[in-house]
Structure 1
Amino acid sequence: MTEEEVLTEFRASGALLEGHFKLSSGRHSAHYLQCALVLMNAERAGRLARALVQTLPRDLRNSIDKVVSPAMGGLIIGHEVGRALDKDAIFLERPNGTFELRRGFTLKEGEKVLMVEDVVTTGLSSREAITAVHDAGARVVAEAALVDRSAGEAQLGVPFYPLVSLNFPTYAEDELPPELAEKPLEKPGSRKK
């Protein structure tokens, strides 16, 4: 899929929002990608997942033992990537603020994991999820995401394969442009900070 085809999918589902948003990273933006909307259609989610899998080198695809995603955002795309790879897909949750495996999910010592996210902005959630996988004894060999919003700046400590890179500017609270600061603030993500 080309970048324009991916954006067409986001626009068609109403998932590309404009306004003033506080992202789960804590940064502010005039654009928000509500991946839950683009992924609510199973056929579309499957198409996006298959396209995402095609960004991975063949040897990497063949070496993956399990797909892991952080809930909530990565859950659907992680499941669909697992289906595209014919691998089990599990997810991490944050019941007390840090990622952990629950619901009977386990990882084996040395298991090779593909981490799958919906959107990466600063990479903080990804790094926390990768740490949780390592703490469980497995090894994250790469991360894949629908969207890289980091402008290539996210440092995850593993190879990173986004389907598309979008460079919508983001701002710290103290550097908001006046036109953005004037708009009502929305916090649409799954983490409320």
Structure 2
Amino acid sequence: MTDDEVLAEFRSCDALLEGHFKLSSGRHSAFYLQCARLLMNADRAGRLAVALCQKIPRDIRSRIDTVVSPAMGGLIIGHEMGRALGKDAIFLERPEGTFHLRRGFRLDPGAKVLMVEDVVTTGLSSREAIAAVAREGGEVVAEAALVDRSGGTADLGVPFFPLVEINFPTYAEDEIPPELAAVPVTKPGSRK
């Protein structure tokens, strides 16, 4: 899929929102990508997962034992990536603020993991999830995401394969432009 085709998928289901958003990273933006809306259609989610799998080099795909994604944002695309790769897909949760495997999920010692996210902005959640996989005995060999909105600056410590790079400007709390500050802020992400 081309970048324009991916953005057309977001627009087709009203998943590209405009306003004033406080992102899970803590940064502010005039745009929000609501991946839950994008992925609510199983056929579309499957198509996007297949396209994302094609971004990952074959030698890395062949090493993957398990797909892991952080809840909430990575759940659906992680599941679809598991389907596309023919691998189990499990997820991390952070009920007390730190990612852990729950619900009886576990990784075999040394399991090779593909981390899957919906959107990467600063990479903080991804790095936390990768550290959790290491604590659980696995090794993240790569990360894939629907969207990289870091401007190519997210350092995850592993190879990173986004389906699309979207560089909407983001702002720290003390950098918000007046025109954006005048718009009421919404916090749509899953992080408190």
TM-score interval w.r.t. the shorter chain? over 0.9
* Aligned twin of 1:62: 62
Aligned to 2:90: 90
Which residue does the alignment assign to 1:151? Answer: 151
1:13 aligns with 2:18: no
Partner of 1:183: 183
1:139 and 2:135 correspond: no
Moved over 3 A (4+): none
In 1, Cα distance between equivalents of 2:161 and 2:68: 15
Q: CA deviation at 1:20?
A: 0.3
1:34-113 matched pairs, under 5 angstroms: 34-113=34-113
| Structure 1 CA distance for aligned equivalents of residues 122 and 131 of structure 2 | 16
C-alpha deviation, 1:8, in angstroms: 0.4
Aligned positions, number:
192
Counterpart amino acid of residue 50 in structure 2: R
1:79-124 Cα distance to aligned partner (Å, 9 max, x none)? 0000000000000000100000000000011100000000000000
How far apart are the structure 2 equivalents of 1:39 and 1:151? 23
The amino acid of 1:175's aligned partner reads E
Q: What RMSD over aligned residues (CA atoms) do the two structures have, in Å?
A: 0.4
Find the residue that maps to 1:156 and give its secondary structure: coil
Q: How far 1:15 sits from its partner (Å)? A: 0.4
Counterpart AA for 2:27: R
1:148, distance to aligned residue in structure 2 (A):
0.1
Q: Percent identity?
A: 78
What 5-or-longer segments of structure 2 have no aligned partner?
none
- Structure 1 residue 190, shift from structure 2 partner: 1.1
Deviation of residue 39 (structure 1)? 0.1
The one-letter amino acid of 2:86's match is D
Q: Deviations over 1:143-176 (max 9, x none)?
A: 0000000000001000000000000000000001
Shift of 1:191: 1.5
CA drift at 1:186? 0.3
Give the TM-score normalised by the residue count of structure 1: 0.99
Q: CA deviation at 1:75?
A: 0.3
Note the residue ranges of structure 1 that are not aligned, 5 or more in a row. none
Report the secondary structure of 2:62's partner residue. Answer: helix
SS at 1:186's partner residue? coil
